[in-house]
Amino acid sequence: MSFASDDSSPTGSLPSSPSTSATSLTDDLNGYRAPLNGEAPEPSIDGTSVGGGEGGIRAESVDEITDDDKKLALSLKSQANTHFSSSRYREALDLYTASLNKNPFDPIVWSNRAAVRLKLEEYGLGVADSSRAIELDDRAVKAYYRRALANLAILKPKAAIVDLKKVISLDPKNAAAKLQLDATQKLVRRLAFEAAIAGKEEEPPSVTIQKQLDDGASPIPSDYDGPRLDDDARPTPAFVDDMVAHFKAGKLLPKRIVWQILLGAYNVLKEEETLVDVPIPEGQTVDVIGDVHGQFYDFMHLLSLTGTPSPTHTLVFDGDLVDRGSWSVEILLTVFCYKWLYPRSVFINRGNHETSDMNRVYGYEGESTKKYGPQTFKLSEEIFTALPLATLITASEPPRVDASPNPPNPTLHKGVKRFFVVHGGLFSKDDVTLDDVRAIPRMKIKQPGQEGLMCEMLWTDPQDAPGRGPSKRGVGLGFGPDITRAWTEKNEVTAVVRAHEVRQGGYSVEHGGLLITVFSAPNYVDQVGNLAAFARIDSSGEIKFTTFEAQPHPSHIRPMMYAGGLGAGM
């Protein structure tokens, strides 16, 4: 089944109090039901961003809907379908919502809006919209399929299996559902097996592979004509340039060199703190880069704009280097080479896609295994646990008087600006400090799980409503502008800089200037049509943004091609 929606279309506010726990927020979302009627104010977990009906009140019964309302609802649905087909997902979302405000009893519109939710990675809301469509039509095949994909995306494969079986029972010839069911069942069996052996003591992959290298394993083939790295040497800038040219020619490195690079970076990363302090020396700048997601050709264009790192030019990568795009390994090796070469000029935060569960679903495991074998993926898993969770960038000079006042009256620390750079966002509790972040034993915890500080740092998203609310993704939570203001003031942070979400213009400044989102993968997964951006912070704490467009790449290599059937169409 494609992601096309039905009808030739596209494939109540719930803020919680500031003291709400992460667990209760997850429970709230699991019990959330997209409203058929009643108030749907903006902003709301329902996603309503346009007024509907009279004063935003939805009809309580079909009998209340006039013929004119039905006609307008169908027109809005048609307009939404057109926007979806053109990858204008936010516009489509608004119009589907407007259609539901006129006629909330059309299961096709609920299902179509679920398709938009998946494109926007609002998987928790995708489950809710699909469920509402199924309540209205228990034979809504596409709604079951979309709910399965949404549950798979938030790592609930058993729930996905139930819906995929339902799809096949309703549509026995549905080849896509059969493929997805087979892949998902294999994933469940594999997860069960790995859980069963998890308690057994095993030698870390880094130790095993280092021994193999020391013993001369994986020698470089005699016919290899690419860049070489001496066993006892760090990469040079020339080596990195040659390696990138090698990748652009569609070639792979010998496994031995790949392992050398991964181990070299790991030996640096594991010595860093969970919260890394990055000062900006006078006259220098720091560039903050958001998600790049395996889009290698866009990534190299990005580096042509930022400039490559050097002892006087610092880059901070804010997570999600891998998954979705099909050159994740090439990006990882490039960034890790630079990290090994310039350990005090390159910093890498962990994203929610530098995690084992996400790598299994979104392609990095399949890609790294296909290109360099299963040991390479296992080594990557270990290295990802060593990635710091956040970076604290601190200016060395006071703010300039002629600087743009954003945020107005900025919070300073000892007279200078500083920025908390994290992949996802803030926390379920008000009292979290920078020292609490520093104290997270990231390498002991290893994986972020579904709750706790590490999970929240990798998964949470901002919301317009005050307080905290359920996550539209189904993992983490939403935090409002009051939460951001209180936390930044408490910790003497000028602003939070994060990634994690597509912004159509490449970046956004939110929460009164206290929260900045930067997304660095243009035309995300070859579909979204967004610009990308990076943020440059100078030594006085002034931020400037540079946006850029997607670059051509080999057309025969598509996003998610290494996902092995998992998440097809997501």
DSSP secondary structure string, 116-177? HHHHTT-HHHHHHHHHHHHHH-TT-HHHHHHHHHHHHHTT-HHHHHHHHHHHHHH-TT-HHH
Catalytic residue among 83, 293, 353, 553: 353
- Cα separation, 306 vs 294, in Å, equals 18
Closest by Cα among 248, 247, 272 to 258: 247
Asked if residue 387 lies in contact with residue 355, where contact means CB atoms within 8 angstroms, the answer is no
Task: For the beta carbon of residue 156, count every other beta carbon within 10 angstroms.
Answer: 16
- Cα separation, 295 vs 323, in Å, equals 9
Is the previous residue joined to 407 through a cis bond, with omega within 30 degrees of 0?
A: yes
Q: Name the CA dihedral angle for 192, 194, 196, 200, rounded to a multiple of 10 degrees.
A: -170
Closest by Cα among 152, 134, 151, 135 to 143: 134
Query: The tokens of 216 are what?
Result: 């001369």
Identify whether 353 is a catalytic site residue.
Answer: yes
- Cα separation, 48 vs 40, in Å, equals 6
Q: Which residues of 375-387 are buried (b: 16+ CB within 10 A; e: fewer)?
A: bbbbbbbbbbbbb
Q: Helix H segments across 402-490?
A: 434-438, 442-445, 453-459, 481-490
- Which residues participate in catalysis according to the annotation? 353
